[in-house]
Structure 1
Amino acid sequence: MIVPSLLMAMAIIGYPILDLAWTSSQEVSRFGKLTGFAGWENFAEVFGDQLFWDSLWRTGIWTFFVVVGTLAVSLPVAIILNDDFYGRGLARVIIMLPWSVSLTMTAVVWRWALNGRAGLLNATLMDIGIIDQPVEWLATASTAFVVEILVGILVSIPFTTTILLGGLSAMPQDTYEAAMVDGASGWHQFRYITLPLMKPFINIAIVLNVIYVFNSLPIIWVMTEGGPANGTDILVTYLYKLAFRFGQLGKAAAISLIMFGVLLVFTLLYVALVSRGEEDAAPEDEKEA
């Protein structure tokens, strides 16, 4: 019963990959017409382009800080929402509501809020006396990239909190009751009970967030379009420019394959490391069995 669905999934996923591989080995006109075999020429041009390496490095920074920041915020939020308090249902709805808004609309709102002349953020900071003149938040690459990372963290919190909250809801409460009887403090309960039991859900959140953030286009594209001077470009925005602005579809296909390879290698390595860590942490009798 699993085989038909598995074959369908492999066809849906496999065909675009094969098509990309074929396109990346061809000379392609800006209208998508294959004009001849190019071999590895597209990959050679990509690897010889300094913008590609800058975008790759920036993609790593973007992915790392957004994923780590999201986990650092989402875990305490999930723990708070898991407690029984008055208004918990409303609090959960408020946390989850941003998840229903498209990333593009969220990025548009933030671009308006960060406008250097009439933005809400500048107006608020000036009203409370933190700044005395407007700040051009998106005018310089260093400032704009930091702001985009913060926005990326904010929009990733609802999804990650949902995963972690599901894990917390499934935890056995008798373990905590036994720990409280033994005199364990809240920190010790978190360190020795919550974190170990939450590892599978944290691992899922890490893998899914890395995949989503690594491929995320709307935030950076809507807010700065990779500018100024390509200073906030990541691989997916660089790819978008090559394909839809400059018509270099062969190079864009090559970058797509590279991105797929990077994510595949990361996922396999991370799963292998997690599996090895679980085996090392298993009791000796389980290892012998």
Structure 2
Amino acid sequence: MRISSNLNPYLLIAPGLLVTGIIILWPLVQLGQLSVSEVNRFGQVIGQGGAENYVKVFADPELYASSFRTLIWTLGVVLGTLLLALPISLALNEEFYGRGVARVLVMLPWAISLAMLAIVGRWALNGDSGTLNNLLQMLEITQTDIAWLARAETAFPMQILLGIVATLPFTVTIFLGGLSSIPTDIYEAAQVEGANKLQTFRRITLPLMRPFVNIAVVLNTIYVFNSFPIIWATTQGGPANSTDILVTYLYKLAFRFGRVGEAAVLSLIMFVILLIFTIIYVRLAMNEEN
């Protein structure tokens, strides 16, 4: 029996969908079971807890505080990265002496692990002998040491700054790929018509870069939302849980407090949040194509 040609695309993607489904759905099933069970700190199910874990999680004020900080963290890092990556990409896309060296310098934070970057950042922000304090005192901006990571009002902004540094190389790479895909004859035609650089940027570069900006937004949002090393390596969510985001709150629930069932509930909540965001992004992308 001859298989209809309409089924060929589905047959081709079926193996990938099957593997992806197993990788994603099986852990979700396990999390679902743990979320309605009584679990000891070693992850062993010792009874049925019903909806008790859900009640405890949603009654915990730290869930809402961590959720708000996660929103600020994600928006701060993603928007800050976009605002810096676009002009940097435009500059690196131009021909100038030393462009190769400049590109390497921008990519350097990508060459080291996120945990190592966070540790270097913690050293630089040290309240006694940190590089930042030494620099500020050398420039006579301040005369006293500032404990950047010991106070909530300074720790979280500095962590967002480290997040931007970590995310910038990947975003610049995406934007450089987008800029290199734009045909040069479009710019030549705009120049012949008398368009200045600002007009060219607004009418040509930005519209053609929109798909790459969308890709950067969705990938960076998922990446930053789940980013653990920077917060944990610098403050471990302190002082007094003032820099906890959902992923560090999840880690503490599971491995510090031994509340594995509640951690499973929080994992499902985080999955649903990212799933909703991804669905919205896919719908928007499909509407733009149509």
TM-score, normalised to structure 2's length? 0.94
CA distance in 2, matches of 1:111, 1:74: 24
Matched, 1:44 2:44: no
CA distance in 2, matches of 1:229, 1:121: 24
- Equivalent of 1:8 in 12, 19, 31: 19
Partner deviation per Cα, 1:177-228 (whole Å, 9 max, x = no partner): 1000001111111111001001111000000000000000000111110010
Matched, 1:59 2:58: no
Matched, 1:84 2:95: yes
Correspondence for 2:44: 33
Partner deviation per Cα, 1:34-64 (whole Å, 9 max, x = no partner): 0112122111111000001000011001001
RMSD: 1.1
Correspondence for 1:121: 132
Correspondence for 1:239: 250
- Aligned residue identity for 1:128: L
Matched, 1:151 2:180: no
Deviation at 1:270, TM superposition (A): 2.7
Would you say the 8 A contact 2:109–2:165 is kept in 1? no
CA distance in 2, matches of 1:67, 1:42: 32
Correspondence for 2:35: 24
Correspondence for 1:284: none
Would you say the 8 A contact 2:56–2:262 is kept in 1? yes
Correspondence for 1:196: 207
- Equivalent of 2:240 in 205, 214, 229: 229
Q: Helix, strand or coil for the counterpart of 2:46?
A: strand
Correspondence for 2:5: none
Correspondence for 2:264: 253
Deviation at 1:156, TM superposition (A): 0.5
- Aligned residue identity for 1:225: Q
Which consecutive unaligned segments of at least 5 residues does structure 1 have?
A: 280-289
Count of residues in correspondence between the two structures = 279
Matched, 1:96 2:104: no
Partner deviation per Cα, 1:114-147 (whole Å, 9 max, x = no partner): 1111111111111110101101111111210011
Correspondence for 1:132: 143
CA distance in 1, matches of 2:139, 2:147: 18
Deviation at 1:234, TM superposition (A): 0.3
Deviation at 1:20, TM superposition (A): 1.1
Q: Helix, strand or coil for the counterpart of 2:142?
A: coil
Deviation at 1:275, TM superposition (A): 3.5
Deviation at 1:149, TM superposition (A): 0.7
Q: Which moved more, 1:3-12 or 1:209-218?
A: 3-12
CA distance in 2, matches of 1:138, 1:233: 13
Deviation at 1:277, TM superposition (A): 5.0
Correspondence for 2:276: 265
Would you say the 8 A contact 2:36–2:48 is kept in 1? yes
Q: Helix, strand or coil for the counterpart of 1:196?
A: helix
Correspondence for 1:210: 221
Q: Helix, strand or coil for the counterpart of 1:134?
A: coil
Q: Helix, strand or coil for the counterpart of 1:155?
A: helix
CA distance in 2, matches of 1:113, 1:24: 40
Deviation at 1:271, TM superposition (A): 2.7
Which consecutive unaligned segments of at least 5 residues does structure 2 have?
A: 1-11
CA distance in 2, matches of 1:166, 1:12: 30
Deviation at 1:5, TM superposition (A): 2.0
Q: Helix, strand or coil for the counterpart of 1:137?
A: coil
